[in-house]
Each structure stands twice: as C-alpha cells, then as structure tokens.
Chain A
Amino acid sequence: MTLLRDAYITGAGAFLPGAPISNDRIEDHIGRIHGRCSLLGRRALRWNGVRTRHYALDAAGRATDSNAGMCAKAVRAALDDAGLGHADLDYLAAATTQGDYLVPGHGVTVHGELGGGPIEVASFQSVCGSALMAAKAAWLNVRAGEHDVAVACAGEFSSRWFQPGFYEGTDLVDDKGRLAAEADFLRFTLSDGAGAIVVEPAPRPSGLSLRIEHIDVVSLAGAFEPCMWAGASRDDRCDAARGWSQAGPVAAHAAGSIALMQDFDLLKRVIRAWVGVYLKKVDEGRIVPDEVDWLLCHYSAQSLRDELMSLLDKTAGAIPPEKWFSNLDKVGNVGSASIWVMLDAFLKSGRLQPGQKVLCVVPESGRALAGFMMLEAV
C-alpha cells in the first residue's frame, strides 16, 4: 500500500481586475436599475465594511475579462510564485459560484484559457466554500501520489450578474422602480477577481511553505434551505424541481428567477449554525483556538453580531482580534476567490513565521456550509 504523503502550499497568486473602485463609484460599473441610485447600497456597505473592490466591467459596462480568464491569470501568478511554470502543472481543480458558461464546466474553461497540454481537471461549483472543495481535491491528489503539482483556483465575475438587465422587467422591481432588498444587497457586497494556490509533496526550496494539516467541509444543507441562490424565484427556491430551466429562460427572467438573491432572515440562522459547526470542531479538538497564530476568515468580525462574538468568547472558542488577518475591506468580497486572495496577501505581508499555524475559515451561506483549513508554516 502506498503511504500518504504530506502536501504543502508552495505558492499563491491573485488577480484583481482593473483599479480599486470606491463606494461612490460602484453603480458606475454595475449600473443603476431604471437609471436610479440604490437606496439600500449604503446600508449594505455599512454592514459588510468593504471600502474598495474590483470589477471586470468597465465604467461603460463592458467586460474586460472572463471568470476563466481571471482564474488563468491567478493560476499563472501562483505557479510563478512557487517558482514553477505552466508546463509543470499536472492537476487543476477550479472553483466558482457561477462560471462563464452553463456548459461546459469551469475546470475545462479555465484550462482552455490557460492553454497547454493534457492535464487532469475538476470543477467545483458551490458558493464561497467551493474554494476549499477544490483545495481538498488538490491536496488529496498530491497526498495520494496521483499528481506532483496541483493547483486549486477560484474565481468570480459577480458584477456581470448585477447589471440592470437582470432585474428590470422582473417581479423583483416594484411599482416605484425599487429593487427587492434580497437582490440589491448582494450588488453592494460581491465583486470580481480570482485566486489560486499550488500544492506539492515537498516544501518550496526557499521561503515558507504551508503544510496542509486538514481541510474539513461541512454541509448542513440537509437541515437548511437555500439562503443565497440564483435560478429560482423566492417562493420556488425550496423545490429544485421548480428551478429556472423548467419555466424556460424568458418566463424565469420575468419571475426574477435568474438574479442572485439572499434571504436575510435565514442568514441569521445560518450564521448561528456556522458558529455551532465551528464550536463542534473546537470541542472535538480538531481546532484548538490557543494554537492558532493567524486566522484568515472569509467573514468580517463586524458582521457577526455582539451576542455571537460574546458566545465565542465565553466558550473558549474565540481567536483574539490581533490574530485576524483580512483584506476584505480593500479587495472586496470575491466569493470563492476571497480565501486565496486573502492568503496571497497574507503570505506577501511577511507576517508569517516558521512553525506558526494558520486557520482559514470559509463559511458559505448558499445552503449553510462551513469550510476549515488548518495550515502550518514550514
């Protein structure tokens, strides 16, 4: 029997399209519903704390890139960071919330953009958590000896889905021309970009690598209904048989089934469920908060309300604020790509020391999922 190998993150890369866009210029890029500024935007921004973000749509609404194109750039940057070239790549695991096409998958689309010879690919489609699903596949492929150079990438081109055409002429806009909060909120929350990591069976020859200790992805979908979704109306979203393709694209659009939506009432419950999953990991000894030197969490502490922060504190589950590293406020919430964009910035910040432990936490509101990755600097 072949023994499992340790596997290491030996490189990271990110691609953020265009210049950083400030809060007052968001709607220049994603557009205004019926030409009117959103009333909700400011509230969303206060909650998510994002100050600048990037869009692959220019001020005229033209695409400057594709999801797969941004992923390919992040993959090249990560390989370059690891001191490897494109030709070294054996295995590509690609994650996204919504790819460029309905068919074929994101993995082959990224490979297409990347070019080059035959490799193994895999596609992971979920929401933010898809990043860790892909990372787990890359890690296990290297661990099992199937491949020596694996890349996990994740990308989002969310702004494309926020253009007025997705909402105008649908049930999501009321008589006064106001967009439903469930849809408008996300327009001021998500933005574009891609990130990638390289996984190899040995640390890089110089500089720090991150040994992957474990990756746990926990879905609670058996007990939760869709909380963030596209492809069904609000009323039909709990019944997958009534998804958008059943009605056809024109009727689905009119019903507001194509836009990306978030259920805020459910989100409050989902957040508590995430905390429950995390505390269970702590209780099982899978995560030992005192041993964590750095926390990279794809969720801002300010978005967790006081009572949850207090709960974490009182259950010996809290990780003190000085150990949190985040760049969400500067680069925006890039969905699945966020954790790699954050890890890339963290590694380049020079903060990490040998022997330190880094915990990455990726909650996904899509249908109540939480992902955890524990790393050790070597």
Chain B
Amino acid sequence: MTAVAAMPPRGDDVSDVLRRLAIVFAEFEARLAQTPLIRKLTHGRFTLEDYRAFLSGLRQQVMDGALWMSRAASNIDEEHLELRSRLMRHAVAEHRDFRLLEADYVATGGPLSEIQGAEKNIGSEALSAWMFHEASRPNPFGLLGAMWIIEGLGQIKALEWGRAAQQRLELADEAVRFLVYHGENDAAHIAEFEAMLGLVLPDTAIARRIVRTAEVTARLYVLQIEEIAP
C-alpha cells in the first residue's frame, strides 16, 4: 500500500477521548439494536409484558447508579475536588429515579411488589459488580467512560424507546415517564461531559482507562438487555 496511515493523534486530549467514546457508543448502539428485546420494540412485536420486564430490568441498574457514583466520589482525592463535587451532585440528582420507574410500572397495571421484588438478571449482576468494583478503586476516573455510556443511553436512546413503547402499546403518559423524562440529547450535555474530562486529562493512562471502562460497561449493558425476558 502506498497510502501509509498518517501519524495517529497523540491520544490523551479531551477531544481524542471524546472521539473514542463516540466510536464506542456508536458500536454499542448498533449492538443494542440486535438484542431480542429491542428488536421486538423496533419490529412492532413488543408486548406489555416486555415493557414491564424492561422496566424491572432497568430498575436494578438505575438504583445502583447513584450508589456507585457516590462510592466513586468518596474515593476521589483532594486534588480532584471539583470532579468529586460534580459526581456527588450527579448522584443526588439521580438517586430517586428508580421510584419513577416503579411508578411507571404501576401505571401499566403491574403490582408494585413485583417490580420491587424482581431479581437482578445475569447481565445486571455483572454490570453492578463491575461498577462497584471500579468505584472502589482510588481515583476511579475510568468511570467517566461508564457515565458516557449510561448517560448517553438516557439522552439518546431512552426517549426513542419510550416513544416507541408508548406508540406500540398505547400507554398513558404516566406509564412512560422514566424513559421520556430523560429528554433529548443536546449539545449542552456534551459540553458538560467535556468539562469533566478536562478535570483529569490529558493523561495517557487515564485516557486509556476511560475508554476501556466505556467498552466494558457497554458490553455488560448489552448483556443486561439480552437477559431481560418477560
């Protein structure tokens, strides 16, 4: 080949990491679309039981989300107080979200005890264990990669899924609040995340860890969705 690839970018700037995270997310999104549950949703074969199983499956991870974020914050040293503050605010903002999921579940006619008593599926177990493991390390900056995946889902996929489910199952607005409430993706979301990355980058090892954590989180999230069965 005469077309020799040019020198790759240095690789640990905020823009380099954001680029790699965007690539991981694009591949994650394509993979999610292939899971049986999401295929049913996009192929008009989604049932009310599927929707309830979906909410139950999400609840575990949503409940854990604020907890691992808090744990991560508690492991951030005083050199990075700003990042610690942001994670704590994030955790506070989200730690009651699972209640909204439960209310949606009840609005579909499902008993509260059922969603509250549901067991984590195999994917949720793996995802949760991975998150708490990462959050327990000193200065767990890799978790920014996990946040990119999970926040990205909220920003980009939740509304799409919520609307599709509502349309397909003719659900009341009260039954899709969790998915629809996360709202549409906007440029402000990227800017906010960019600022967080700026607090720990450039640093080659951290850059690598953030991308790797995003990859593992994405794979385990897909596993969680794969394991959802009514």
Contact = CB atoms under 8 A, between A and B. Distances in A.
Interface string A26-52: 000000000000000000000000000
A374 B5 CA distance: 12
Interface string B75-91: 00000000000000000
A223 B6 contact: no
B22 A311 contact: yes
A265 B23 contact: no
Contact of B164 (A265, A277, A284, A306): A265
A279 interface: yes
B27 interface: yes
A235 B18 contact: no
A322 interface: no
B30 A310 contact: no
A91 B3 CA distance: 24
B19 A315 contact: yes
Interface in A327-378: 368, 374
B29 to A, nearest CB: 6
A224 B33 contact: yes
A286 B15 CA distance: 17
Contacts of B64: none
Interface stretch (A80-88, A168-176, A186-194, A267-275): A267-275
B190 A283 contact: no
A280 B186 CA distance: 22
B29 A279 contact: no
A277 B23 CA distance: 7
A273 B29 contact: yes
B30 A220 contact: yes
A314 B23 contact: no
Contacts of A316: 9, 13, 15-16, 19
A280 to B, nearest CB: 5
B164 to A, nearest CB: 7
A285 interface: yes
A265 B31 CA distance: 17
B3 A213 contact: yes
Interface string B114-131: 000000000000000000
B2 A315 contact: no
Contacts of B18: 311, 314-315
Given A275-B26, A314-B18, A284 B33 contact: no
Contacts of B33: 223-224, 269
Given A285-B7, A285-B9, A276 B34 contact: no
A238 interface: yes
A291 B6 contact: yes
Contacts of A307: 185-187, 189-190
Interface in A269-317: 269, 272-273, 275-277, 279-280, 282-286, 288, 291, 306-307, 310-311, 314-317
Contact of A285 (B2, B5, B190): B5
B12 to A, nearest CB: 13
Interface residues of B, number: 37
Interface in A230-278: 235, 238, 265-266, 268-269, 272-273, 275-277
Nearest to B14: A314
A118 to B, nearest CB: 31
Given A224-B30, A314-B194, A4 B22 contact: no
A279 B164 CA distance: 29
24 contacts: A6-B2, A213-B3, A220-B30, A265-B42, A269-B33, A272-B26, A272-B156, A273-B29, A273-B30, A276-B22, A276-B25, A277-B26, A279-B19, A279-B22, A279-B23, A282-B19, A283-B19, A284-B8, A286-B6, A291-B6, A306-B187, A311-B18, A314-B15, A368-B30
Contacts of A223: 30-31, 33-34
A25 interface: no
B45 to A, nearest CB: 10
Contacts of A279: 19, 22-23, 26
A284 B19 contact: no
Given A269-B33, A307-B190, A314-B18, A286 B5 contact: yes
Interface in B56-111: none
Contacts of A374: 3
B44 A276 contact: no
Contacts of A238: 43
Contacts of B164: 265
Contacts of B25: 276
A214 B13 CA distance: 28
